[in-house]
């Protein structure tokens, strides 16, 4: 079973959270009936793929193959675990840990494909399977981690690990198994174990329902526009795409603006019609709390209470304390201290930015002889572009003709990786695809050997969840002789017809970011599947991907890909300079909207079960939480509001702070790279050898120290986000208050 204690990934993927950490470590479930010969016939999951690097046979996989493979795989897996647990010989590394690492092959093949497809190309059959099996997967995980005989063997190895003669990676593997089993409830009484099983089963089902509700309501909440005149500000290409979206919904002659999963919606930066911007914003923030069939408030309340109860049972005061004990942060107090240091400066900057936007509004309205209006959330992006143009003679639309997607990927993202690491990419058309809108590449090392296969899935579609993420179909392991098959997923609107895909700057940096995760998987060079690729703490996993963003505007990289899609002319130097000059522009907004969500996550998960409200109090709790931590600035709502905050219903519960925590390491690393020569093979090879290749085989912060020789320092992050002046000139950081009582 591809490291069984990643069975916790079942909860991550079922709930639909971003799968930056690889998802090959598949969840398992109790089952006793093996697949019969008929169900095995032609089912690709019952044998190892014959394609290069065990790439999945997407051309042979059918939805009806999953259930038999799940059932047979679970039964097979439990037999393997029973054989380990019941072995009469004393526990050794070779007869206990190694077979655990190798177990669950059938289940691993089926679930890695299934959960990846649920995220990127779901359908009714897959949604039903997801709902039907979520509780079974949780139960199967419990059947393994709560097996007392198995835990006794692991504990014996843990207690005697110093005398086993193992190398450092193997010792760490024993330690991680022990920790994961304990955190999964292995030390609980039988009565407590039964309650824990019930909590895990119910939580899994609720997580599935939450994620399916989010996707359904995103599609249902699309804005229908009757008159093209209301779309003033959008490009011809965007208008055509809106018309096609309406036609696909049976509304020919109208226009549909689809929603992304974030609170902010990209068209709001362009639409001149303020009433339409308001409609778009209100539709976005109402998701999950409208009292309809997709209302998620009751689910949020129940899941938060279940998590709090489970944490108490396992010996922690709150779910946040439970989660953070196994992260680099270690405690809620450490997270609170960092967020409290950032919040006042971020909100202060946002208010200054808001004042500039209000001044722009006032001037415009006065020039038109019309009464002014108060800056609202649906005005922010629109007037930000106006202020940007006013201050820098620059707006985002000037960039897009120079940011054609294939050029960004191949001449930007790939080119940077070649310059840094010496690797090369070769597109191939012979491998099957799960969707036609995907591109597949061989990744070749500097010596010409194959490192990995990379799948690029850029476009938004109704069957795909929102956001951007990386996942793995096959993870690297020396023990099993496997090399990575990894994928990046974006949600870029697909243009109509044969029009080129022109990207925003945010989409460009996201592409570089996600490829940083891919590199973490591609360069993995560990012995044991448990440690492969991105199997690191949540508050460390974003660090390598954030570092990779630095190459998006690195002069030689930018010059190589930023070329006009029609003429091939390079982006003018003046425009290049403006990209760099505006790097800190609007950072008050960006930091505040992120911190709003990160602090909300902590407030939900630092609460005890008694402090968590019922469904009717969820939105009041959210409002009180934002006010308590000082980020209740109305024009800048959280990046995600609670009822559509998929991250924290899945793998980032009590962990959404991880992006900013990792960014501290990122900012330190970027400074180190710049001071040591910038874009060089020496720097790339060092980053690969000391960090990217190590996966979770060493302590995460030690990996950072191995690369940089430094201790983390928050100052470079403050400078990067333009928050230094506000920290030095403003009030001292405000402490994060205790969770407010709920009436």
Q: Are residues 67 and 194 in the same domain?
A: yes
Cβ atoms 259, 284 nearer than 8 A: yes
Q: Which helix (H) or strand (E) holds 304?
A: helix 297-313
The tens digit of pLDDT for each residue in 443-488 reads: 999 999 999 999 999 999 989 998 899 999 999 999 999 999 999 9
Residues 200 and 225 in one domain: no
Q: Which of 215, 246, 262 is the last residue of a domain?
A: 215
- In the chain, the number of structural domains is 3
432-445: pLDDT as tens digits: 999 999 999 999 99
Range of the domain at 502: 397-581+657-721
Residue 730 has pLDDT above 50, yes or no: no
Sign of CA dihedral 448, 449, 451, 454: positive
Report the catalytic residues.
Answer: 514
Residue 521 has, within 13 A of its CA and on its CB side, a CA count of 29
Structure tokens that stand for 543 in this block: 């660090």
Identify the three-state secondary structure at position 185: coil
Q: Is residue 36 in a domain?
A: yes
Residue 737: pLDDT over 80: no
pLDDT attached to residue 28: 34
**282 and 156, same domain (yes or no):** no
Yes or no: say if 679 and 557 are a contact pair by the CB < 8 Å rule.
Answer: yes
Which of 83-97, 268-282, 631-645, 727-741 is the least confident region?
727-741
DSSP annotation of 43: -
What local confidence, expressed as pLDDT, does residue 396 receive?
77
Q: Is the pLDDT of residue 348 over 90?
A: yes
Asked if pLDDT for residue 36 goes beyond 60, the answer is yes
512 in the same domain as 485: yes
Residue 488 backbone dihedrals phi, psi, to 5 degrees = -115, 140
> In the structure, what pLDDT confidence band is assigned to residue 35 with cuts at 50, 70 and 90?
low
Does residue 16 surpass a pLDDT of 50?
A: no
Query: Within this chain, do residues 41 and 188 fall inside the same structural domain, yes or no?
Result: yes
Answer yes or no: is pLDDT of 662 > 80.
Answer: yes
**Are residues 569 and 635 in contact, defined by beta-carbon separation less than 8 angstroms?**
no
418 domain-assigned: yes
Residues in the chain: 743
- Residue 728: per-residue pLDDT: 36
Residue 461 lies in a domain: yes
- The last residue of one of the domains, among 270, 286, 302, is 286
157 band by pLDDT with thresholds 50, 70 and 90: very high
Residue 631 falls inside a structural domain: no
Residue 98: partners with Cβ closer than 8 Å, 6 or more residues away: 479
**Within a domain: 523:** yes
H-assigned helices in 571-675: 573-581, 587-605, 618-628, 646-649, 658-675
| CATH number of 127's domain | 1.10.1370.40
For residues 403 and 480, state if they share a domain: yes
| Same-domain check for residues 38 and 181 | yes
490 and 421 within one domain: yes
DSSP string, 637-666: --SS-GGG-HHHHTTTTTTTTHHHHHHHHH
Per cent of the chain over pLDDT 70 is 92
Are 211 and 233 contained in the same domain? no
Which residue among 173, 188, 215 closes a domain?
A: 215
- Residue-wise pLDDT for 482-536, tens only, equals 999 999 999 999 998 889 999 999 999 999 999 999 999 999 999 999 999 999 9
pLDDT mean over 593-621: 97
Return the HEC string of 481-530.
CECCEEEEEEEECCCCCCCCCECCHHHHHHHHHHHHHHHHHHCCCCCCHH
| Strand (E) or helix (H) holding 474 | strand 469-474
Q: How far is CA 38 from CA 34, 43, 153, 491, 680, in A?
A: 11, 9, 38, 39, 56
Q: Note whether 114 and 183 are same-domain residues.
A: yes
Q: Is 505 within the bounds of a domain?
A: yes
- Classify residue 635: in a domain, yes or no: no
Whether 99 and 192 share a structural domain: yes
Which pTM was predicted? 0.87
* 246 & 170 share domain: no
d(CA 479, CA 449): 19
Provide, for the chain, the percentages of residues in helix, strand and coil under a 3-state DSSP scheme, each rounded to the nearest 5.
60, 5, 35
The answer to the question of residue 570 being in a domain is: yes
């Amino acid at each position: 079973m591809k490291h069984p204690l990643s069975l916790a990934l079942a909860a991550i993927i079922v709930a639909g959270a971003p799968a930056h950490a690889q998802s090959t470590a598949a969840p398992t479930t109790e089952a006793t009936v093996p697949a019969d010969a008929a169900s095995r016939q032609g089912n690709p999951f019952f044998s190892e793929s014959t394609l290069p690097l065990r790439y999945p046979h997407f051309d042979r996989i059918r939805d009806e193959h999953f259930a038999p493979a799940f059932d047979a795989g679970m039964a097979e897996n439990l037999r393997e675990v029973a054989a380990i647990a019941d072995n009469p010989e004393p526990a050794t590394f070779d007869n206990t840990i190694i077979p655990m690492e190798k177990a669950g092959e059938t289940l691993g093949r089926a679930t890695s494909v299934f959960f990846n497809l649920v995220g990127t190309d779901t359908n009714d059959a897959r949604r039903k399977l997801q709902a039907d099996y979520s509780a079974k997967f949780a139960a199967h995980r419990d059947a393994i981690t709560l097996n007392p005989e198995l835990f006794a063997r692991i504990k014996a190895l843990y207690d005697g690990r110093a005398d086993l003669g193992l190398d450092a990676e193997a010792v760490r593997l024993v330690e991680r198994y022990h920790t994961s089993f304990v955190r999964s409830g292995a030390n609980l009484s039988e009565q407590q174990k039964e309650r824990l099983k019930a909590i895990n089963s119910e939580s899994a089902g609720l997580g599935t329902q939450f994620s399916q509700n989010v996707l359904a309501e995103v599609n249902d909440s699309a804005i229908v526009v009757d008159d093209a005149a209301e779309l003033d500000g959008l490009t011809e290409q965007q208008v055509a795409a809106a018309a096609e979206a309406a036609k696909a919904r049976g509304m020919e002659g109208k226009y549909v603006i689809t929603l992304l999963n974030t609170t902010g919606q990209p068209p709001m930066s362009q639409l001149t019609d303020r009433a339409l911007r308001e409609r778009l914003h209100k539709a976005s923030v109402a998701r999950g709390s409208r009292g309809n069939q997709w209302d998620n408030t009751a689910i949020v309340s129940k899941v938060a209470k279940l998590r709090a109860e489970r944490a108490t049972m396992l010996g922690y005061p709150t779910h946040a304390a439970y989660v953070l004990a196994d992260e680099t942060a270690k405690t809620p107090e450490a997270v609170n201290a960092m967020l409290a240091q950032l919040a006042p400066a971020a909100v202060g900057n946002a208010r200054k930015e808001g004042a500039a936007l209000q001044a722009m509004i006032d001037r415009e309205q006065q020039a038109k002889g019309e009464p002014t209006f108060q800056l609202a959330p649906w005005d922010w992006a629109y007037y930000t572009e106006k202020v940007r143009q006013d201050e820098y003679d620059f707006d985002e639309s000037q960039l897009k003709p120079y940011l054609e997607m294939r050029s960004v990927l191949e001449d930007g993202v790939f080119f940077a990786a070649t310059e840094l690491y010496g690797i090369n990419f070769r597109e191939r058309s012979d491998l099957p695809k799960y969707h036609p809108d995907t591109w597949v590449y061989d990744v070749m090392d500097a010596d010409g050997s194959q490192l990995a296969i990379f799948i690029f899935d850029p476009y938004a579609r109704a069957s795909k969840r929102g956001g951007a993420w990386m996942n793995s179909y096959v993870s690297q392991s020396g023990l099993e002789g496997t090399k990575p098959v990894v994928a990046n997923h974006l949600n870029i609107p697909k243009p109509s017809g044969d029009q080129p895909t022109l990207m925003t700057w945010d989409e460009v940096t996201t592409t570089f970011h996600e490829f940083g995760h891919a590199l973490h998987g591609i360069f993995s060079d560990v012995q044991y599947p448990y440690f492969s690729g991105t199997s690191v703490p949540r508050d460390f996993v974003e660090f390598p991907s954030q570092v990779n963003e630095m190459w998006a505007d690195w002069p030689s990289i930018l010059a190589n890909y930023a070329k006009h899609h029609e003429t091939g002319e390079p982006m003018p130097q003046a425009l290049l300079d403006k990209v760099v000059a505006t790097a800190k522009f609007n950072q008050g907004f960006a930091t505040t909207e992120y911190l709003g969500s990160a602090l909300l996550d902590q407030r939900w998960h630092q609460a005890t079960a008694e402090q968590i409200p019922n469904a009717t109090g969820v939105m009041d709790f959210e409002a009180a939480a934002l006010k308590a931590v000082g980020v209740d600035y109305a024009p800048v709502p959280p990046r995600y509001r609670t009822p559509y905050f998929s991250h924290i219903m899945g793998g980032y519960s009590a962990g959404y702070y991880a992006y900013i925590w990792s960014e501290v390491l990122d900012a330190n690393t970027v400074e180190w790279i710049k001071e040591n020569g910038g874009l060089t093979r020496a720097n790339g090879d060092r980053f690969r050898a000391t960090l990217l290749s190590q996966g979770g085989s060493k302590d995460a912060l030690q990996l950072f120290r191995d690369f940089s020789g430094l201790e983390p320092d928050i100052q470079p992050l403050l400078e990067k986000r333009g928050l230094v002046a506000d920290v030095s000139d403003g009030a001292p950081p405000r402490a994060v208050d205790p969770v407010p009582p709920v009436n």
